[in-house]
A and B are shown apart, each in its own frame.
Chain A
Amino acid sequence: MTLAWFARRLMLTLYTVIVVSMLVFAITQILPADAAQSLLGENATPDALAALRAKLGLGDPAWLQYSRWARHVFTGDFGISMRTSLPVGPEMLAALSRSLLLTVSAILVTLAVAVPLGVVAALRQGRLTDTGVSLIAYLGVSLPEFVTATLLALLLADTLHWLPATGYVSPLEDFGGGIRHLALPVLTVSVILVAHVMRMMRSETLDVLKSDYIRAARLKGLPERTVLFRHALRNALLPVITIIALDVGYLLGGVIVIEEIFAIPGIGRALMIAITTRDLPSIQAGALIMAATYAVTNTFADMAYAFLDRRIRYD
């Protein structure tokens, strides 16, 4: 990992965030023929429309509107919510922290489950365990989040009464309650992620096991345990970093639905509320923060990958 590569990667992240901000702004504010009308609805009085147009500066050329907004965003000022009249930025970041708690827990659960399962499936390739594991993986990727969430809630909350169905309790205030409220959403997210990571882990392990250095390690007379853990697993795990980072984007989309269903005040729910109440500054802030989080996560993943696998030299 050279310094030049590092700098280039950071520039790329910056470029991504800029493109995303332009796109978000264009879709929400420039694309509608009259953003004020679509924000206030059809029954708005002409006075209210004129006032909002002036406030948003809708009469100005698109690039001027964007640069004004971007300048404010750059200093951390996302504007004032049209719904609550509070600054949008702090509210969205607080919501993001709750979403991150959900996603990070889900990733940890996923790793703990999917990696061993994937390896077992690879070691028993073509046998019953492998087929069973693969079938479950298929089902996992074929169920939309809202279906998984609803079915799990039906089973674990409504029928068995093991877990609370909805709501959010901060684990900092009440650890046990917080965990219990997080369990269902985390489980839902994990079902989908496990399917992905497991398939990846399986095919990677199969690839690695066929490689020459594994043959060499076996011929050297190393015990199978050492071959598997010291040689095979370490190499098979590397691509999992990438797939998890790519899944974060998918996860951030998924949290919109999952937070909505389980009533978790995270960024996805904040965004849904903003969309249904047509709260423009909140929509823009929520969308931009989500996409930026994804871009930054991918940057970190690339760096971790380059650091762990010294063979990789990006030019």
Chain B
Amino acid sequence: MTELFIRLMRKPQGFVGVVLLALIAAACLFGPALAPYAPEKIDFLGRFRAPGWQNWLGADQFGRDILSRLMVGARSTVPLAFIATFVGSAAGAIIGVGSAYLGGRTDEAIMRTNDAVLAIPGLLMALLLVSTLGNGAGNAVIAIAVAFAPGMARVTRSAALNVRNQDYVKAAIARGEGAPWIIFREMLPNVMAPIVIESTIRVSFAIMLFATLSFLGVGAQPPASEWGLMVADARQYMHQAPWGLIAPSAAIALTAVAFNLLGDGLRDALNPKDER
């Protein structure tokens, strides 16, 4: 573990990713305590105040401090995207490993159906589910998790196919272990590397998807300071206050970049042979 971390920090992608993520994690943990103002504090004299010493990143249409809203909003954006990815990845990984374990025609049938589900674009799937379950952040998380599962199942299954033919799995079958033991104790731990890499990169998709759902009005609801919602709000006033638009956009992009970098860094750290 320590060795892996050192290898990760040696690569520029890994290093920058880890540093950015540490900052984001700090904002999630201590954001409300560090924020200079309350996120919903209205100041009518400070409407559309340009970035300056009073509001470092400017103020929005109600004079609310954008930096404070971003710092508090980190909580309602990043952890939710993380949970959605985790649940979706776990479900997908179990489907993928299970399918590879069963093999043969069952595997074929599961994967063909899985590929068919993949034909529904992620955003469309999430939108359909949210429109059925009802608007809101919680339902958006469920929708993203469901939308992610088939993609993860595919990635996991291709890794698990190799593991399926390894001697230790054959040995487990020979000594009469049950399917759950083989899937969870023998196969799953040995396909963790690709799963971790793929899900790290997927967190950045989840953040974007979650922000997009909020932007379209079906995810987080006002007055939450979720980042996608902040962009949607600021769009109406982009002539008067472009900073209201740029600050949350940059926050989304930075977080997505951070997870992308970490994913790439992890890929290098976990596969030392691959120099590309």
A binding-site residues for B, Cβ under 8 Å: 12, 15-20, 23-24, 27-28, 31-32, 38, 138-139, 141-147, 150-151, 154, 158, 203, 206, 249-250, 252-254, 256-257, 260, 271-272, 275-276, 278, 283, 287, 290-292, 294-295, 298
Contacts and interface: CB of A to CB of B under 8 A. Distances in A.
Nearest to A22: B116
B178 interface: no
Contacts of B131: 28, 275, 278, 283
A101 to B, nearest CB: 18
B115 A142 contact: no
A151 B260 CA distance: 21
A150 B245 contact: yes
A143 B246 CA distance: 12
B133 to A, nearest CB: 8
B132 A23 contact: no
Contacts of B123: 253-254, 256-257
Contacts of A294: 119-121
A214 B172 CA distance: 46
A206 B235 contact: no
13 contacts: A19-B116, A27-B132, A139-B253, A150-B235, A150-B238, A253-B121, A257-B216, A271-B124, A271-B127, A287-B128, A290-B121, A291-B121, A295-B116
A12 B109 CA distance: 11
B249 A143 contact: yes
Given A250-B121, A257-B123, 7 more contacts: A32-B132, A138-B261, A139-B253, A144-B228, A154-B238, A249-B118, A257-B215
A12 B112 contact: yes
A253 B113 CA distance: 20
A1 to B, nearest CB: 20
Interface string B41-83: 0000000000000000000000000000000000000000000
B129 interface: yes
A271 B127 CA distance: 10
Contact of A19 (B117, B208, B215, B216): B117
**Mostly helix, strand, loop or mixed at chain A's interface?**
helix
A295 B112 CA distance: 12
A270 to B, nearest CB: 12
B261 to A, nearest CB: 8
Contacts, number: 130
A312 to B, nearest CB: 18
Interface string B224-260: 0000100110010011001001100100110011001
A184 to B, nearest CB: 14
Given A20-B116, A142-B256, A150-B238, A38 B132 contact: yes
A146 B215 contact: yes
Contacts of B92: none
B204 A142 contact: yes
Nearest to A29: B132
Contacts of B260: 138, 141-142
Given A15-B116, A150-B238, A206-B276, A252 B121 contact: yes
B253 A147 contact: yes
Residue among A12, A27, A147, A203 with the most chain B CB within 10 A? A147
A290 B253 CA distance: 28
A24 B256 CA distance: 30
Contact of A253 (B112, B122, B253): B122
A20 B276 contact: no
Contact of A158 (B124, B231, B238, B253): B238
Interface string B85-104: 00000000000000000000
Contacts of A292: 119
B212 A23 contact: no
Contacts of A249: 118-119, 121
B212 A144 contact: yes
Interface string B187-209: 00000000000000000100011
B211 interface: yes
Interface in B10-34: none
A27 B217 CA distance: 20
Contacts of A16: 115-116, 119
Nearest to B129: A27
A206 B231 CA distance: 39
Nearest to A290: B124
B113 A287 contact: no
A23 B124 CA distance: 12
